[in-house]
Amino acid sequence: MSRLFLETVSDCLMYGHHVTIQRFGSFRPWEQTSRPVRNPRTGEPCMLEPRTSVKFNPGKTLFEKMNADLVDKQQE
C-alpha cells in the first residue's frame, strides 16, 4: 500500500502536479536555479546545475499536532 502511494505521489510531482492530502499537507514541485557553490572538501568553486525539488507545506491538523504546546499557548 505505501509503495503504491509513494509511486503515485512521485509520478504526480514528476509531471509538475501539486499533491494535497487533506489535514496532512501538500507537496509541490519547484525549480531551483543554478547557483555558485563550493566543494566542501577542496573549497573549489563550481556551479550547481538547475534541478527540480519538492516543497512540503503541512496542513492545519498536522501543524497543530506537531506544535501542540505552541497552539495551546496561543489560545490562552
* pLDDT, tens digit (0-9, with 9 covering 90-100), for 20-66: 999 999 999 999 999 999 999 999 999 999 999 999 999 999 998 98
Q: Calculate ∠ Cα 54-59-64, nearest 5°.
A: 130
Three cell numbers written together for 15: 509531471
Amino acid at 4: L
Q: Calculate ∠ Cα 64-69-21, nearest 5°.
A: 15
Q: How many residues does the chain have?
A: 76
State the pLDDT at residue 25: 95
Query: Residue range 14-22: average pLDDT?
Result: 95
State the pLDDT at residue 70: 74
State the pLDDT at residue 34: 95
